[in-house]
Structure 1
Amino acid sequence: MTANSTVTIADIMQTSAVIPVLVIEDAALARPLAEALVAGGLRVLEVTLRTGAALEAIAEMKKVPGAIVGAGTVVNTQQFARVRDAGAEFIVSPGLTERLATPIIESGVPFLPGIANAADIMTGLDLGLTHFKFFPAEANGGLKALKALAAPFYQCSFCPTGGITEASAPDWLAFKPVLCVGGSWVTGGTMAEIEIKARAANALRG
């Protein structure tokens, strides 16, 4: 998948029930981690830009057949340029600004911006966007808050992230506008244990 691909953010969001949110400190672990997650059925991987190893981790994970590797915690255009050069196949941001969104949209790289309220969604709609990350999901009022937001914005779809657990994920996924959830609970333990967690997470949609 490359920029200007016909694959959309909607396609990516519907690939797996859970998008693992990955904070990778050691790039040497990136490829085996991706292999375990993909083997468990979680093909869409979000590598957050919270560590110095993130760009190398993206490059390593892209070597895994079937993996769709994106960059998360992208907050400015300089970061976007770096992750694009590293081969990120989609971009996730914790918030939404026109300055960041415009070059990403123009590039053709699938984009999932964070929203927290109606004004954020309206900004996204003005930019031609209809798919959003609801963040931080639990701190922002949880599923009840998203249901209230989604009602007037019936054309929008969401990926709640932030505080989602294996126990709470099925409730979120049962809400039709939610195409997937972001979570970090699948990443702990050995690679064999991570594969088992990934398999269970991928089955949550039912």
Structure 2
Amino acid sequence: MSKTQRTREICGLAPIVPVLVVDDAAQARLLAEALVAGGLPALEVTLRTPAALDAIRAMAQVPGGVVGAGTLVTPEDVRAAKEAGAQFGVSPGATDMLIAACEAEGLPLLPGVATASEAMGLLEKGYDMLKFFPAEASGGAPALKAIGAPLPQITFCPTGGVSPANARDYLSLSNVVCAGGSWVAPKQMVQDGDWAGIETLAREASKLMD
């Protein structure tokens, strides 16, 4: 059985998973509400700021939202994310220790890969929904299409350099379920509390597969 069935279900909620760097946990709930209202319910909060875990706690209370923790690197990250209320995890790569920690905590994981060998290694472990990262630096949509030809049983969420200009290139691929993007929550709009503007960006992103 696929160990990433739940991860695929979450990735399938909308074409874009917002990749969020939250500096102020006090803004987290309003940010999540704006993104969910705009049609992007799956939210990845990266563990890159001191506020990240508190942001996950706040976002976990938002009706209709599914909040996950990104930039999982160590087993300690996994345990802290799960304790904060994360419903899934995202990692830039994958190690045996990280995978074991996620399985022990019951945290669905979207592990990152950049090559066919990495993807095959995770497939052997039962993971067939993966993050293609860093997407643009690793060859973009043409590279992901090429990887998909011999590995049709694996689906991906490309992340890293995905933008409104190239998102459809990725989303049109048969092996892509969704893409990760940070443009739906620009830092300045978050700082300004422009939740209506963020909701508009989210709504536009939610229609990228229409």
TM-score normalised by the chain length of structure 2: 0.93
What one-letter code is carried by the residue in structure 2 that aligns with 1:140? Answer: S
- Closer, same or farther: CA 25–136 of 1 in aligned 2, 3 Å: same
* Residue 182 of structure 2 is aligned to residue 184 of structure 1: yes
Q: Is residue 82–residue 105 contact of structure 2 (8 Å, CA) maintained in 1?
A: no
Measure how far apart 1:106 and its partner are: 4.0
Q: Equivalent residues in 2 for 1:103-118 (5 A)?
A: 103-118=101-116
Distance 1:32 1:106 in 2: 32
Give structure 2 stretches of 5+ with no counterpart.
none
Measure how far apart 1:171 and its partner are: 1.4
Matched with 2:71 is: 73
TM-score normalised by the chain length of structure 1: 0.95
Matched with 2:206 is: 202
* Secondary structure of the corresponding residue to residue 187 of structure 1: coil
| Root mean square deviation, CA, Å | 1.2
Distance 1:25 1:121 in 2: 33
What one-letter code is carried by the residue in structure 1 that aligns with 2:122? Answer: G
Distance 1:7 1:147 in 2: 22
What one-letter code is carried by the residue in structure 1 that aligns with 2:200? Answer: I
Give structure 1 stretches of 5+ with no counterpart.
1-5
- Number of equivalenced pairs: 201
Q: Is residue 46–residue 71 contact of structure 2 (8 Å, CA) maintained in 1?
A: yes
Matched with 2:22 is: 24
- Closer, same or farther: CA 89–146 of 1 in aligned 2, 3 Å: same
Q: Deviations over 1:141-190 (max 9, x none)?
A: 10111111111111000000000001211111011110000000000221
Distance 2:55 2:19 in 1: 13
Q: Is residue 79–residue 101 contact of structure 2 (8 Å, CA) maintained in 1?
A: no
**Percentage of identical aligned residues:** 51
What one-letter code is carried by the residue in structure 1 that aligns with 2:209? Answer: R
Measure how far apart 1:7 and its partner are: 7.0
